[in-house]
Amino acid sequence: MTATETSITLEQLRETLPPVWPQDLCGFIGKTVADSTTKLVILDDDPTGTQTVHDIPVLTTWSIEVLENELKTCGPGFFILTNSRSLVPSAAQALSRKLGTNLRRALTGAGVSVQIISRSDSTLRGHYPGEVDALMQALGPSDLPRILIPCFFEGGRYTANDIHYVSEGERLLPAAQTPYARDAAFGYRHSNLRDWVAEKTGGSVAADRIMSVSIEDIRLGGPEAVTNRLLSLSPGDCCIVNALEYRDLEVFTAGLLAVESQGRAFVFRSAASFVRVRAGIRPRDLLDRETMGVDHSGRGGLFVVGSYVPKTNTQLAALRNRKNIVDVEVKVDTLLDVLRQPAAVAAAIAAANQAIESGLDAVVFTSRGLVTGRDVCGSLNIGRRVSDSLIAIVQGISCRPRFLVAKGGITASDVATKGLGVRRAIVMGQVLPGVPVWRLGSETRWPGLAYIVFPGNVGDEGALATISRCLEPVR
């Protein structure tokens, strides 16, 4: 570990760096995006990537016809929910190849070009570089420079001096020192993103060959310096982007747009903050019960919690302390037992229905002991079996809740696509920083429902309880 890979406060880190670029570039970015014929296509490996945007569609299917129709609509772009983080590596790459092939065919009749953003976890968990490589091999060209931008400010994720940090309380920890780096499926050893890329590529991309756009480039040189750095990239190169706040990403994006206007193209692996800036979307106020359209009926709401990260466990504990909450705990060992699973699912359905009908919020959650397999595939397959049981519970609930909160990216994706039948939804905005709300379409089981996609690794310990409190009916 180097001296720079130690914990630090955000203020201490800021004191070592130049002041932010003084010019507001949002207007320029917004106008440039609006005048462009290029569509952003954001491939989201779980549904939490919508956590910074509003008034933008999310697709859960990607046939050629669906993609061609969406490419012809107004707006800066759209999300495609792949949920690839829940898949084993070979399946994730096969999905990416299929999607790339369909998108290439859809583009022939759409009359636009696309810019691809592979949106993934801000704590560096996911199928990188495999799914990006597979996608671009199908979509082409396969040797576009890769740009890595994992910062996500709403969740306390920052990159400086090429080191990626995750906030834990008052301090920023280098990402490899956090529990996320010990993920059973997507663990890693390095916080320096140059070394992280080298690790994830098995050494095929050497750390000393990776370029970066530094905060000094951004804050001292501005968009012109960014443009010059990006123009120096060759096919197949990888580049890291450092940023501590949105103004840094705005400067980067202004420089990027100048390069794109010259016909240069890139493929991005990013977290959610860059998506909002590149799409030219300005922030809006947080949503409340009225702006979400949550009704005043006497029914309760529904929480479905599948995430196992430590932050989720503390949030779940705070939620369960509220008086209007009915616990519906499902033991993981019963879900993994083919003989006991049906009865466990049936009992959870009955308890959730009774709570919602009586006006109480039901929280369906799996027991908190994490069960892992012998390897990556084993762990992912266990997660799939547990998730399938949660979906069966949601499908069995007959009483429409006033709202639905799904906690954890894979859980939220499966609840949306399999439990509710979502094919296209609209992102309304956020109920808390980094917590998006979708308005479900007419094709779904509960049309018009406010569906809250709550990432496992976002929010303070009272965040779930805050949502329950904010959405209480007026009595």
Tell me the pLDDT tens digit for each residue of 285-316: 999 999 999 987 789 999 999 877 788 889 99
End residue of a domain, out of 252, 278, 304: 278
The CATH number of the domain holding residue 314 is: 3.40.980.20
Do 220 and 310 fall into the same domain? Answer: no
| Cα gap 18→365, rounded to integer Å | 46
What counts of helices (H) and strands (E) characterise the chain? 17, 18
**146 in any annotated domain:** yes
Do 381 and 262 fall into the same domain? Answer: no
Do 305 and 209 fall into the same domain? Answer: no
Average pLDDT over residues 342-357: 96
The CATH number of the domain holding residue 267 is: 3.40.50.10840
Q: Indicate the average pLDDT of the chain.
A: 93
265, with CB counted inside 10 A (0-12, 13-18, 19+), is middle
Is residue 1 scored above 50 in pLDDT? no
Do 15 and 133 fall into the same domain? Answer: yes
**202 in any annotated domain:** yes
Place of tokens 């956590």: 51
Tell me the pLDDT tens digit for each residue of 143-180: 999 999 999 999 999 999 999 999 998 999 999 999 99
Count of CA atoms in the C-beta half-sphere (13 A) of 471: 34
| Cα gap 472→475, rounded to integer Å | 9
| Cα gap 55→50, rounded to integer Å | 10
Do 269 and 312 fall into the same domain? Answer: no
**283 in any annotated domain:** no
User: Residues in the chain, how many?
Assistant: 475
Percent of the chain residues past pLDDT 70, beyond the cut: 97
211, β-bridge pairs: 239
Neighbours of 140 (CB within 10 A): 11
**109 in any annotated domain:** yes
Neighbours of 245 (CB within 10 A): 15
| Cα gap 98→82, rounded to integer Å | 11
Task: Report the candidate in 430, 449, 160 with the shortest Cα–Cα distance to residue 276.
Answer: 430
Domain that holds residue 355: 289-470
Do 97 and 182 fall into the same domain? Answer: yes
Do 213 and 358 fall into the same domain? Answer: no
Do 296 and 261 fall into the same domain? Answer: no
Q: What is the structure's pLDDT at 171?
A: 95
Q: What is the structure's pLDDT at 3?
A: 44
Q: What is the structure's pLDDT at 162?
A: 98
**1 in any annotated domain:** no
Do 178 and 92 fall into the same domain? Answer: yes
Do 465 and 324 fall into the same domain? Answer: yes
CB 457 within 8 A of CB 272: no
| Cα gap 172→174, rounded to integer Å | 7
pTM of whole model > 0.85? yes
- Determine how β-strand 146-149 pairs with β-strand 56-59: unpaired
Q: What is the structure's pLDDT at 365?
A: 92
End residue of a domain, out of 218, 253, 278: 278
Do 223 and 300 fall into the same domain? Answer: no
End residue of a domain, out of 278, 304, 319: 278
| Cα gap 58→47, rounded to integer Å | 9
**475 in any annotated domain:** no
Is residue 108 scored above 50 in pLDDT? yes
Tell me the pLDDT tens digit for each residue of 190-230: 999 999 999 999 999 999 999 999 999 999 999 999 999 99
Domains identified in the chain, total number: 2
Do 244 and 357 fall into the same domain? Answer: no
Structure tokens at 418: 């399999």
Q: Could you give phi then psi for residue 345, rounded to 5 degrees?
A: -65, -45
**3 in any annotated domain:** no
**5 in any annotated domain:** no
Band of the pLDDT at 371, cuts 50, 70, 90?
low
Q: What is the structure's pLDDT at 370?
A: 63
Q: What is the structure's pLDDT at 408?
A: 87
Tell me the pLDDT tens digit for each residue of 219-255: 999 999 999 999 999 999 999 999 999 999 999 999 9
